[in-house]
Amino acid sequence: MRALRLPGWKSEPELVEVAEPTPGPGQVVVKIGAAGACHSDLHLMHDFEAGAVPWNPPFTLGHENAGWVHALGDGVTGLEVGQPVAVYGPWGCGTCARCRVGVDPYCENPAGAPVPGGGGGLGLDGGMADYLLVPDARHIVPLPAGLDPVQAAPLTDAGLTPYHAIRRSWPKLGPTSTAVVIGVGGLGHVGVQILKATTAARVIAVDTREEALRLAEECGADLALRSGAETAQEIRKVTGGRGADVIVDCVGADATLALGVAAARTVGDLTIVGIGGGTLPVGFFSVPYEVSIQTTYWGSRPELIEVLELGARGMIHPKATTFALEDAMTAYRKMADGTLEGRAVVVP
């Protein structure tokens, strides 16, 4: 079968022929219907080096995967060959306190996981291939009726990650509240939709790119602001001076974090989703009173079920641009130069 493999750190992926996987006991092989291309894959190719994460190349890229059950290992029950499924991406040990409640990204026994702190496309072979070996059937989530793999694949990360980030702030997102999404890329455009679908907040989207602001408006943003020196003041102005109750920063750079704090209302939430690597001084006088600043990483298995339900009911709809597996590098190049709209999805 074909697979888009990352041969080493600081290298370009290569499309190569590899052996088709066979499932061991308790495992599942999925025929890939769609694999999302994530901005974090660019960091894997260009920025990471040995020691940055607890695993190393070579492996097949692709950590947003959906398709159809292809083969079941011994002992797997409750799934049928041909059934459409999504793959829950973070693969923890399955037995620690976090994994038991479906929060594999925060697995506390990484030595007991298939790969410590990773998953398919993150240390182990991912879904930019014809088939994907899923090491435990518990990572398979059947697709609700009406959701196809091209829509489902981006929901497993570009949907799940902002959903998890927004869900924690639901109590602060009543009808008089304002939410700000910074960065309207793969995650941010779904984040805008999730806010509109699950809360009554007014939604403001912020980006540096004109096309991204148009996409935000298509996704239901009430206001789309070109990011600049005045952005925080503009947000304060349209919120009667109060500031935004919830800020979801899908970039995570120094400048966007500073904007988040400058635009935050007292008792607000600032959630750092993007892995831009920025930092923020936090102290008694540097942030508004009782602002909660939190990172989040990916989401839980129960939340994935909820996100897929929103997708199946048409309440969220990732803007997917499809590419053949042979053209996956074109997708990444467009992502790198900022000309990709929404999410790139590779269909092998």
Q: Could you list the residues that contact Zn ion (CB under 5 A)?
A: 38, 40, 92-93, 96, 99, 107, 109, 157
Cα atoms in the Cβ-side hemisphere of radius 13 Å centred on 311 = 31
Is the CB of 92 or the CB of 276 nearer to Zn ion?
A: 92
Is the CB of 126 or the CB of 268 nearer to Zn ion?
A: 126
- What is the rounded distance in angstroms from the CA atom of residue 284 to the CA atom of residue 23? 54
Smallest gap from Cβ 232 to Zn ion, in A, equals 28
Is the CB of 11 or the CB of 109 nearer to Zn ion?
A: 109
CB 247 within 8 A of CB 232: no
Smallest gap from Cβ 120 to Zn ion, in A, equals 11
Smallest gap from Cβ 301 to Zn ion, in A, equals 12
Is the CB of 86 or the CB of 224 nearer to Zn ion?
A: 86
DSSP H helices, the chain, are: 39-46, 97-100, 149-154, 160-167, 186-198, 210-218, 231-238, 254-263, 301-312, 328-336
**Inter-helix orientation angle 160-167/301-312, to 10°:** 110
What are 226's strand-pairing partners? Answer: 207
Is the CB of 92 or the CB of 268 nearer to Zn ion?
A: 92
Tell me the residue ranges of DSSP E strands in the chain: 2-6, 14-17, 28-37, 59-60, 64-72, 84-87, 119-120, 123-124, 131-134, 140-142, 178-182, 202-207, 223-226, 244-249, 264-272, 292-295, 320-324, 343-347
Smallest gap from Cβ 226 to Zn ion, in A, equals 26
User: Which phi and psi (to 5°) does residue 257 adopt?
Assistant: -65, -40
Smallest gap from Cβ 155 to Zn ion, in A, equals 12
Smallest gap from Cβ 187 to Zn ion, in A, equals 8
Calculate the dihedral angle through the C-alpha atoms of 277, 304, 38, 23, rounding to the nearest 10 degrees. Answer: 120
Smallest gap from Cβ 282 to Zn ion, in A, equals 26
Residue whose entry in the numeric block shows the structure tokens 């600032």: 270
Smallest gap from Cβ 295 to Zn ion, in A, equals 15
Neighbours of 146 (CB within 10 A): 10
Q: Which two tokens stand for residue 321?
A: 């641009």
Helix (H) or strand (E) holding 230: none
Is the CB of 99 or the CB of 304 nearer to Zn ion?
A: 99
Is the CB of 61 or the CB of 173 nearer to Zn ion?
A: 61
Smallest gap from Cβ 198 to Zn ion, in A, equals 21
* CB burial string 157-166: b at 16+ within 10 A, e below: bbbbbbbbbb
Is the CB of 243 or the CB of 252 nearer to Zn ion?
A: 252
The set of residues, in sequence order, having a beta carbon less than 8 Å from that of 171 and lying 6+ positions away, is: none
Is the CB of 38 or the CB of 66 nearer to Zn ion?
A: 38
